[in-house]
Amino acid sequence: MPNLDDYTSIVGRDVIDELRLLAERLKGKKITNINSTSVGGGVAEILTRMIPLLRELGVDAKWDVIKGNDRFFRVTKDVHNALQGVDVEIAEDEWNYFLEVNRQNAEDLDLTSDIIFIHDPQPIALVEKKRDINNKWIWRCHIDITEPQMKVMDLLKPYIERYDSSVFSSPRFARSDLNIKKILISPSIDPLSDKNKELTDETINSTVERFNIDRDRPIITQVSRFDKFKDPAGVLEVYKRVKKTIDCQLVLAGGGATDDPEGLQVLKSIKSASEGDPDIHIIFLPPSSDIEINALQRASTVILQKSLREGFGLTVT
C-alpha cells in the first residue's frame, strides 16, 4: 500500500506537511471508527484506505464493525431506503429490535476512545453509551437525506442530536432541522489505489478478454453495487435504446455488501431482464476486484452512473 510520501507528486509537499502538523494535534488521542460492514460499499472502501494513512501520521485510529443478523440488516436497509425517500413502514417491533442489536453491540465494543466516529445510520444508536463515557462522538452521514421519509427521520433525529457534531459530503445534505453542529467533508478519492492507478494495456486487454467483452465495439459500463438506487434497470433501458442504432455492448459490474440484503434480489432481477442478449455482461465482482473495475472502466467507451440517490458517489471514481 502507498505511504504518504507517494502522494507528494499529486498533492504537493505543502499538503503532506500540513497533514503531519494537523496530526500532531491528535497525539495522545484514540479514535475509533465504527460502521456496519468490513467489505463492500463505499464506507468500507474509504476506511480501508484511510485508517493506514492515519496511523502513518501517528494518529491512534482503529476500525470496528457492528454485528447483526439478517433481520437486523433488513431493518437497516429499510431505514437506509426511507432516508433516501422510499415510503417504508418500520413496525414498532422492528425498530425496537434495531435498538436492541445496537445496545448489544454497545456492550461488546470498546467505546472508550477519545473520539467515536460512527458511519451512517446502522450503528447510530450506539450513542446511547455516550452518557456513560466522557468522550466525543461524531456521526458521518454518507447518504442523501434531502428528501427522507419523515416518520423514519423523526425516529433517528433524537439519536443524531446526541452527537457532538455531524459530517456530510454535500451542503444540501446537511438538514437545517437537525440541531447539531455540521461539518462538510467533500468527496475525495485515493488516486494511487488499485481502482484508480494507471494500468498497462496488457492488464486492460486481459481483463476484458476474461469477461468475453469485445474491445472492437463500443462498450457502455456502469460500476456499482446491485442496488435499486443505482438504477441498473434504467441503465438497461438506456442500452436498449442505444442498441437500436449502435452495435454496442453493456457491462453492469459490481458487487454487494454484507449489510445489504436486497443486493442479490436486484442482481437476479437484472439478469432476468437481460436474458437472450449476449452483448449484456452482468459481472458480480468480489470486494477485492479493484483492478478489474479499473480495467473495465478504462476499456469502456461510455461510463454511466445513473444513481437516483447518491451520498458520496464513490463509484464515479
169-190 residue pLDDT tens? 888 888 999 999 999 998 888 8
Is the model's pLDDT at 315 over the cut of 60?
A: no
Percent of the chain whose predicted confidence (pLDDT) is above 90: 73
Asked whether the predicted pLDDT for residue 67 surpasses 90, the reply is yes
CA–CA distance, 38 with 72 (Å, rounded to integer): 16
pLDDT of residue 224: 87
Q: Is the pLDDT of residue 272 over 80?
A: yes
3-state secondary structure 36-69: CCCCCCHHHHHHHHHHHHHHHCCCEEEEEECCCC
Is it true that 4-184 and 201-316 share their CATH fold? yes
Question: How high is the pLDDT of residue 266?
Answer: 87
Select the more confidently predicted residue: 132 or 263: 132
pLDDT the model gives residue 90: 94
If we measure between CA atoms, which residue out of 229, 209, 207, 221 comes closest to residue 254? Answer: 221
Where are the chain's structural domains? 4-184, 201-316
pLDDT of residue 317: 44
What integer is the mean pLDDT of 283-299? 92
Structural class in CATH, domain 201-316: alpha beta
Do residues 214 and 176 touch, judged by C-beta distance below 8 A?
A: no
Residue 291 has pLDDT above 50, yes or no: yes
**What is each CA distance from 140 to 105, 162, 173, in whole angstroms?**
19, 13, 11
Class of residue 269 by CB neighbours under 10 A (exposed 0-12, middle 13-18, buried 19+): middle
pLDDT in the model for residue 52:
95
Residue whose C-alpha cell reads 482503529 in the numeric block: 62
Render pLDDT for 41-51 as a digit per residue (tens, 0 to 9): 788 888 999 99
Query: Do the Cβ atoms of 58 and 27 come closer than 8 Å?
Result: yes
| Count of all residues that appear for the chain in the document | 317
pLDDT at 10 over 70: yes
Amino acid 259: pLDDT = 66
Name the CATH code of domain 4-184 (choices 3.40.718.10, 3.40.50.2000, 2.30.29.30, 3.30.70.20). Answer: 3.40.50.2000
Q: What is the dihedral of CA 256, 259, 265, 271, to 10 degrees?
A: 0
Residue 176 CB coordination number (10 Å): 6
Report the alpha-carbon distance of residue 247 to residue 151 in Å, rounded. Answer: 47
Is 57 exposed, middle or buried (CB count within 10 Å of its CB: 0-12, 13-18, 19+)?
middle
pLDDT at 286 over 80: yes
Q: How confident is the model at residue 134 (pLDDT cuts 50, 70, 90)?
A: confident
Of residues 140 and 261, more confidence is placed in: 140
pLDDT tens digit sequence for 28-41: 999 999 999 998 77
